[in-house]
Structure 1
Amino acid sequence: MAALFVVFNRASGRGDTDGFAPAVQAACAAAGRDCHLLPVQRPGQLAEVAREAVRQARAAGGIVVAAGGDGTLNGVAQAVLGSGCRFGVLPRGTFNYFARTHGIPQDLDGALRVLLTEAARPVRVGRLNGRVFLVNASLGLYPQLLEDREAWKQQFGRSRLVALVAGIRTVLQGHRSLRLTVERAGQQRQLRTLTLFVGNNALQMEQVGLPQAPAIDAGRLAGVALQPVGRWTLLALLARGAFGQLGEADQVQHFAFDRLTVKGRSFGARRIKVATDGEVFWLPLPLQFDVAPEPLALIRPAGLAPERQEARA
């Protein structure tokens, strides 16, 4: 019967047009649970509100809940990790990969039912230079794709179709490759790639057809590197991913790891553009990807998510 401290992002694309706040309060009241809504009123305020939610939850023995897309969940998880608080999710994004891979329904009623009835279970998360990522982190082409996608969403609305069209447009523009030095398990190698993608979401791996989902289930991270190719080949690879066949492409390298260090080899920049869970920013080199030593205590159903069961069938 722990109290819920819900970080609700009013600054997100969906706002509160669907009556989210009253619905959450009504469900909690019906279950006899205290509910405290902590709205994020403007961009840039998320980290501050998340820290306040953690402070209040720790004092009350409560649960911190993130309501929003994967970017909002990331920001709240950053504050929750290591705090000793349990973590709940009410997904409100476009793709909601984190919720889906852990069996949390995308509809509000279903997500509330899980939040109010299920127990906390440990979930491993990734880190990039100490910053949490729940779904993926990347550099190269993928952060640019995310930036372009966000611009299209601002103009045409948030939908998976808009995201797909924006991705095709970005791919057709052409991009320079990165020359990197990567180190894992004590060994260094040179890597030339259009994008380096690090996944922490088994469902996402399964959907695009990459064989690293079992490694993620075992608490590791999945690295994916795309060899330099022309824009039409790149577009064909995008189609392969859409049909769950990316792992069959010769131009795609994939591997599992616990810790990966990335240094720039052919450019003199001291920092590089990266993305974590859909949010794009700059980080200093070298980059350090690893698995956080402490898991999140996520409120989720037991067992394999139904969507993942269907993907394996």
Structure 2
Amino acid sequence: MQAAQADDISADTVAGQVPELLVVSNPGSGAQDGQARREALATVFREQGRAFRFIDVDGPGDLEEASRRAAEEARGRKGVIVAVGGDGTINTVAQAAWRAGCALGVLPQGTFNLFGRDHGIAQDLEQAARMLLRARPRPVAVGEVNGRLFLVNASVGLYPQLLEDREVFKQQFGRRRWVAVLAGLVTIFEWRRQLTLEFERDGQAVVVRTPTLFVGNNRLQLERIGLPAEVVARVGEGELAAVMARPIGTGRMVLLMLRGAIGRLGEAEQVDSFAFRSLTVKVVGMRKLKLAADGEVGVMAPPLRFSVASRPLLLMVPRDEDRVPVA
């Protein structure tokens, strides 16, 4: 990874006044779109006299290492590392910022952008960039599973498979909403596997069979799918939310998906949800399984230890007067 030179403005001119921005963009987007984003951001930052640099990323496989180096530099220079992309890209950059202990700025560019929306960050790139220049660092709670952070959610079972299948469909048919819905239906109709999970809840040993375990750290998402208000209210206050479906047939699973889409999942008898501070989950009969964290799917070995991270993430949050109401 190489860092491009500061565009027009030397960091030395603002030393001790405002932090330099080290901007990491999603390398998975097209070259033309990426260049247009750079030009738009450079224009905003130059207009405001802000020191900034774009961090060159060779490809998706280089994002993690590029973010790590940029975060270390941001810490040393008391700067801000800025993630430009969807929830998956933001997650990668956030992990680097959290480990280095530097501040994170977010310029959402994905489809859902739940993390950015939940913190009042604009979805328009230039508007979000202007908000970032006035933003202030605040600690925000993030989730952790076996050392991996998640900002929005983490899951095992059906949901990671759904994400993988959705990406395959999008590569074939384009990034349209109907493509995502079709991919979800195909996954549900083909899924037959049930997980057997063992964990302790309220001092009692619990064994459940479920097609998926979903752990949320984002109030906006949990509100939208319709979880009980008493569960949602505890998220972000030192707790996470767990959601599990009971073993059911394909037809009922489709109905659950529809309930979630219209914000009524919590009313379904086949769904159990609860808030927790920490939860250790054993997965019977499996030595490794797919785990999705903020839309990125990997492989993890159980037991799975979910908790709020030991320290918060330092996020550049818009001022109250700049915040965009959640839509």
1:3 aligns to 2:20 (yes or no): yes
- 1:108 alignment counterpart: 125
1:254 aligns to 2:243 (yes or no): no
Q: TM-score, normalised by structure 2?
A: 0.89
C-alpha contact 1:69 1:93 (8 A) present in aligned 2: yes
1:226 aligns to 2:245 (yes or no): yes
Q: Which structure 2 residues correspond to residues 227-242 of structure 1 after superposition, within 5 A?
A: 227-242=246-261
CA deviation map 1:94-129 (0-9, x unaligned): 111111111111110221122111111111000010
CA deviation map 1:40-78 (0-9, x unaligned): 221211110001111221222100111111111111111
Structure 1: stretches of 5+ with no match in the other structure: none
For residues 128 and 224 of structure 1, the distance between their equivalents in structure 2, rounded to whole angstroms, comes to 15
Q: TM-score, normalised by structure 1?
A: 0.93
Q: 1:78 to 1:254 in 2, by over 3 A?
A: same
Q: 1:31 to 1:303 in 2, by over 3 A?
A: closer
Q: Which structure 2 residues correspond to residues 59-98 of structure 1 after superposition, within 5 A?
A: 59-98=76-115
Shift of 1:303: 5.8
Select 1:36's aligned residue among 41, 44, 53: 53
- 2:151 alignment counterpart: 134
Please identify, of 177-186 and 255-264, the stretch whose mean Cα deviation from structure 2 is larger.
Answer: 177-186
- 2:177 alignment counterpart: 160
Q: 1:185 to 1:31 in 2, by over 3 A?
A: farther
For residues 142 and 15 of structure 1, the distance between their equivalents in structure 2, rounded to whole angstroms, comes to 32
C-alpha contact 1:141 1:175 (8 A) present in aligned 2: no
Select 1:146's aligned residue among 144, 160, 163: 163
C-alpha contact 2:198 2:207 (8 A) present in aligned 1: yes
For residues 173 and 80 of structure 2, the distance between their equivalents in structure 1, rounded to whole angstroms, comes to 36
CA RMSD of aligned residues (A): 1.8
- 2:209 alignment counterpart: 192
C-alpha contact 2:134 2:318 (8 A) present in aligned 1: no
The alignment covers a number of residue pairs equal to: 307
1:207 aligns to 2:232 (yes or no): no
C-alpha contact 1:9 1:39 (8 A) present in aligned 2: no
C-alpha contact 1:174 1:230 (8 A) present in aligned 2: no
Structure 2: stretches of 5+ with no match in the other structure: 1-17
C-alpha contact 2:27 2:63 (8 A) present in aligned 1: no
Q: 1:87 to 1:15 in 2, by over 3 A?
A: farther
For residues 105 and 14 of structure 1, the distance between their equivalents in structure 2, rounded to whole angstroms, comes to 23
State, as a whole percentage, how many aligned pairs show the same letter. Answer: 50
Shift of 1:14: 8.2
For residues 278 and 23 of structure 2, the distance between their equivalents in structure 1, rounded to whole angstroms, comes to 33
C-alpha contact 2:134 2:319 (8 A) present in aligned 1: no
Please give the secondary structure, in 2, of the residue aligned with 1:255. Answer: strand
For residues 30 and 204 of structure 2, the distance between their equivalents in structure 1, rounded to whole angstroms, comes to 43
Shift of 1:247: 0.6
Q: 1:51 to 1:178 in 2, by over 3 A?
A: same
Shift of 1:246: 0.5
